[in-house]
Amino acid sequence: MNSQKYDFAVVGAGVSGAWIAYELSKYTAKTCLIEKENDVAMGATKANSAIIHAGYDPVPGTLMAKLNVRGNELVRELHEKMDIPFRQIGSLVIALSEDDEAKIRELYERGLKNGVKGLKILTKEETLALEPNLSDEVRGALLAETAGVCSSFEMSVAPAEVAENNGVDLIRNFKVENVSYEDGYTILVSSDGKTVAARTVINAAGVHADEIAALFGDDSFTMTPRRGEYSILDNSCKDLVRHVIFQPPVKYGKGILVSQTVDGNIIVGPTAENIDDKEDKSTTTEGQKTAFDGARRSVPSVSERDVITSFSGIRPIGGKGDFIIGFSDANKALFNVAGIESPGLTAAPAIGEYVIEKLIESGHKFVKKDDFDNTRIVVRFKDLSDEEKNRKIAENPLYGRVICRCETVTEGEIVDSIRRGAGARDMDGVKRRVRAGMGRCQGGFCGPRVMEILSRELDIPMSEVTKFGGGSRMTEKETL
Amino acid sequence: MIINADVAVIGGGPAGLAAAIECRKNGIENILVIERDRQLGGILNQCIHPGFGLHVFGEELTGPEYAQRYINMLAETDIKTMTDTMVLSLSSDRVIRAVNAQTGVAEIHAGAVILAMGCRERTRGMLRIPGTRPAGIYTAGTAQRLVNIEGLMPGKNTVILGSGDIGLIMARRMTLEGSKVKGVYEIMPKSGGLKRNIVQCLNDFGIPLHLSKTAIEIHGKERVEGVTVASVDENLSPIKGTEEYVECDTLLLSVGLIPENELSRGAGIAIDPKTKGPVCEKGFETSVPGIFACGNVYKVYDLVDNVTKDSVLAGRSAAEYLKSRSF
């Protein structure tokens, strides 16, 4: 078989896969990043709380604890260089009962053991001074200063882009369905018969990681999809809370939070429900009610009336109580990176580092490239001063044409999001990268114009523009 | 760049055009109309059906014809226009920041400002309809733009949620373009649309109007595959046991319009929580002196003819305001 040959094939371009590819792109090893969808960040990565956790939550001594704390450091260190939207707003775990007070003290102790800096237990008065809209029932809180909010899309778009710019091949629409072996290579075969050969396959397939492992004869873990429902409130509510507000953790996760998003909206959620279908990202009436009832325990004035959109995410639960990272016992051609549940988003940059460490430990020889560059500059027109705006428009008049009115996104930014490394290929891809269509009209006005730009840039007919690849065509055909 | 204007009109749709022309008629000289789209006329450009102008012109015109009359009237004056230009902000002392590809960010200092930004449609997110998030869900107005301006058909089998006028018009339009419209579902016991639209757009084409019924779930992974509809009780809550699955690949929403007052809020203008438009005492002057509002940004109108009539009054008030200040 005449397949393109790689040293490493990373399967899954979610946040873990993207950061692994990013780390590998620092070396001369030949790497590809394989994704079954039309874009990166299509699984658990695209729909979660987008919180950069401080690291007081995981049990001391676990990989989760170690990689969470290191990941938090890396995000704070890299976000400016790589232009990843991040705001270190701090988090509060609030206590609403005596039980809760004991729990936050326990979290504080754990945090110290995990090496988390900037932790403090606050009194009721201190808590309410920081967050006047919290419930009167609040009795105190655990403040974690290093926590923050990010764009979870950009947390994987940025490393995927840097990886592609530094020589990694991003292969989209490649759903691994079969494997065979040839001359020391594993041949990955896609559902439509394409092939890729790699010496080592890194399985970062998220909720589908167990299916990939099974193709290699590894049935050592099973992924359970856990659905979480969220709502986003209009940015007129942005001052409702200023920190990430958690309640103490419950059996199924960190409970329902109320937080600012990195863009200044308010997010409410998630629920936690184990489901059967790994792709079932539907929202439900009951789920929305659970989320809001839960959120109102923290912030009584949170209201469904301010919702601009709701969505569900699937968290990949590995069932081992810790991340599963290492070579498969069943097949040495396979390296698993599975069960990357919360705090996976925070940990992802550290997961990338840790994978390289493990590969080196097992005898892989890496040679550093001397021209690796992780600088990334994204123009965000809305955030520029008027002088900077005028300079950009003089350079490229497309920055003077506002396409999305709700979020003030220009044609220049949309074109840029399509042309750059790991660029957008569909409507959701544009929306996630530059926010066109994410505002209060939800793409009602800018949708047709974004379709025009995608059609022009990708050189496809308007009728072939999709919402998110595959059969998700925006329109059916041209009119008669 | 700084531009001075006696009157700056934000929005070049029917409201803005009528107000600007009326200001000119009342002796105001330096008038500027700022329009975000590539041409004047606003939403009328995509309303290619007839039914406009019966009250103002005494004849039946299409949307583009109605708009063209005002564009022509404007062209006969020395009123200046900036198209493809987006207003970024408005301050209470009537300074507008606007951007376009030619001039970059410009500051417009206006003696009086007329707000005529129109309205936007309520979305699926605001309705909080549960289910999946596939392609094929559009507001009726967006679908209207796709069909009438872009020449694209959203889909073959359509369900319309809400019986606002745009939804009714689109039921007919989708049918004429070859889509099967399965039905219009209205949560209220009566339609919010004009009687003539129910007759001409639904009855004449045999499209059923289901009252007191709404969509409770959207299905489909890539494209819409269907919606579950159900009857609702007097509190508008779905009644268990009345669920019905309707297969379709397209869902159009016609569930209300909201005046676009983000700029108005930025200028500190008081907004009526009920109409979602500026509180206007008399002559369409807002709570901020020298700033006037007309058309759908003030309140959502059924007929463009009425928009025109009120916008003329707003234009006249703005002119009077300026004259009273110069003496």
Residue A123: pLDDT band with limits 50, 70, 90: very high
A79 part of the active site: no
Hey, is A238 helix, strand or coil? coil
In this structure, how many other beta carbons lie within 10 angstroms of the beta carbon of residue A109? 13
Q: In this predicted structure, what is the pLDDT of residue B273?
A: 92
Chain A contact set for B108 (CB, 8 A): none
Between A372 and A234, name the one with better pLDDT.
A372
Q: Residue A204 in contact with residue A20, Cβ under 8 Å?
A: yes
Nearest by CB to A441, from B100, B123, B128: name it: B123
Burial of A193 (0-12, 13-18, 19+ CB in 10 A): exposed
Q: How far is CA A1 from CA A189, A345, B273, in A?
A: 11, 37, 68
Q: How far is CA A149 from CA A51, A68, A87, in A?
A: 5, 14, 5
Chain A contact set for B153 (CB, 8 A): 475-479
The percent of residues above 70 in pLDDT, for chain B, comes to: 100
Residue A280: pLDDT band with limits 50, 70, 90: confident
Chain B contact set for A390 (CB, 8 A): 104-105
CATH of B2-120+257-326, one of 3.50.50.60, 3.30.1370.160, 3.40.50.10880, 3.40.50.300: 3.50.50.60
Q: Indicate yes or no: CB of A444 within 8 angstroms of CB of B147.
A: no
Taking the Cβ of residue B127 and every Cβ of chain A, the question of whether any pair is shorter than 8 Å is answered with no
Chain B contact set for A475 (CB, 8 A): 146, 152-155
Q: Is there a common fold for A91-145+224-314 and A381-464? A: no
Q: Indicate yes or no: CB of B146 within 8 angstroms of CB of A475.
A: yes
Q: What mean pLDDT is predicted for residues A190-201?
A: 97
The percent of residues above 90 in pLDDT, for chain A, comes to: 86
**What CATH superfamily classification does A381-464 receive?**
BFD-like [2Fe-2S]-binding domain (1.10.10.1100)
Nearest by CB to B126, from A308, A397, A447: name it: A308
Per the structure block, which two tokens stand in for A429?
């891809």
**A:B CB pairs within 8 Å:** 138
Is residue A410 scored above 70 in pLDDT? Answer: yes
Q: In this predicted structure, what is the pLDDT of residue A443?
A: 85
Q: What mean pLDDT is predicted for residues A236-253?
A: 88
Task: Report the candidate in B214, B269, B235, B46 with the shortest Cα–Cα distance to residue B141.
Answer: B46
Taking the Cβ of residue A459 and every Cβ of chain B, the question of whether any pair is shorter than 8 Å is answered with no
Least confident of A90-104, A372-386, A440-454, B179-193: A440-454
Least confident of A306-320, B158-172, B182-196: A306-320
Residue of B nearest to A426 (CA): B135
Specify whether domain A91-145+224-314 bears CATH 3.20.20.140. Answer: no
Q: What is the DSSP secondary structure assignment for residue B194, as one 8-state letter?
A: -
DSSP per residue, B108-168: EEEEEEEE---EEE--HHHHT--B---B-EEEHHHHHHIIIII-EE--SEEEEES--HHHH
pLDDT in tens, B208-229: 999 999 999 999 999 999 999 9
CATH of A1-86+149-223+318-377, one of 3.40.50.720, 3.50.50.60, 3.30.10.20, 3.20.20.140: 3.50.50.60
Specify whether domain B123-253 bears CATH 3.50.50.60. Answer: yes
Distance from A343 to chain B by nearest Cα, in Å? 26
Nearest by CB to A397, from B101, B121, B123: name it: B101
Domain ranges of chain B: 2-120+257-326, 123-253
Domain ranges of chain A: 1-86+149-223+318-377, 91-145+224-314, 381-464
| CA–CA–CA angle A212, A213, A216 (5° rounding) | 100
Residue A1: pLDDT band with limits 50, 70, 90: low
Residue A234: pLDDT band with limits 50, 70, 90: confident
Q: In this predicted structure, what is the pLDDT of residue B123?
A: 87
Q: Residue B164 in contact with residue B252, Cβ under 8 Å?
A: no
Q: In this predicted structure, what is the pLDDT of residue A131?
A: 97
Burial of B256 (0-12, 13-18, 19+ CB in 10 A): middle
